[in-house]
Amino acid sequence: MSSKLQNNEEILAQTFTDAFNKTQSAVVRITNLAGLFRLGNGVAETARDLFFGLDTVQQITMFAELSAPEQVGEDLQTVVGGLYTHFDNTEQHDSLLQAIADDLGKIESGFPDSRILRAEIDAWLEGRIQFQMGNYQRAVEAYSRAVNFSGRNPAVFLDRASAYSRIERYNDALTDLARVIELDPERQSQVVGLIQSNPSMHDYLNNHQNVFPTLVTN
């Protein structure tokens, strides 16, 4: 990359960042986050830092207050694609995912790709509901539907691994956890925490270290 092109991208990134920070408008925030994500991987982390720097209410409001999401449909898809795989299994993030799914449902006619993304999120949320109800096999089935839509969402693999562990399918759980590390190495502490929270799965890993070398813990 030439220094001139790099400088232009840095100027654009700063412009998008400043515009995001100066507004309370959901539309303007989404438009500027989309601009950052489109600049590429080097700037995507900046976009995520801006979003996750908002408090939970502001995060949800950014999607829930879009009165006409079809007007920013392309930007909305870009932002959701850049953010949603970084959500955790929390009540707040469930609410955020539901607000996003509602928005995606409103733009399906003009942006057909949003149907796939919404279907993935809907299945993911269904898995979490079933898990909370203690229906771990149904949770696995819902998470598996979500995986089939994308296969590149580490958060879904992490959730499915947790469900697998509850029905003592440790090989499947560890396979999913290895996939989590492959997709997002920064989730390693969550992976380790899940393994260590289940003594039987931890023992299974110790007996199959050659199968899961990336997951071996002390």
pLDDT in tens, 78-110: 999 999 999 999 999 999 999 999 999 999 999
Measured torsion, CA atoms of residues 62, 68, 71, 76, in degrees rounded to the nearest 10: 30
Look up tokens 């958060």; give the residue: 155
> Distance between CA 147 and CA 156 in Å, rounded?
7
> Distance between CA 3 and CA 197 in Å, rounded?
49
Give the Cβ contact number of residue 183 at 10 Å.
17
Each residue of 27-52: pLDDT tens digit?
999 999 999 999 987 899 999 999 99
Question: Residue 127 is which amino acid?
Answer: G
What does the block give as tokens for 1? Answer: 């990359």
Mark residue 68 as left, alpha or beta (left: phi above 0; alpha: psi -120 to 50; beta: remaining). Answer: beta
CA 78 to chain centre: 13
**Element of type H or E holding 159:** helix 154-166
- pLDDT beyond 60 at 5: no
Q: Which sequence spans correspond to the domains of the chain? A: 112-218
Each residue of 159-187: pLDDT tens digit?
999 999 999 999 999 999 999 999 999 99
Q: What pLDDT, on a 0 to 100 scale, did the predictor assign at position 6? A: 63
- pLDDT beyond 90 at 21: yes
Report the share of the chain in percent with pLDDT over 90: 91
Q: What pLDDT, on a 0 to 100 scale, did the predictor assign at position 3? A: 54
> Distance between CA 161 and CA 212 in Å, rounded?
14
Prediction pTM value: 0.94
CATH number for domain 112-218, candidates 3.40.50.300, 1.25.40.10, 3.40.50.720, 1.10.3720.10: 1.25.40.10
Which has the closest alpha carbon to 127: 92, 168, 94, 174? 94
> Distance between CA 140 and CA 146 in Å, rounded?
10
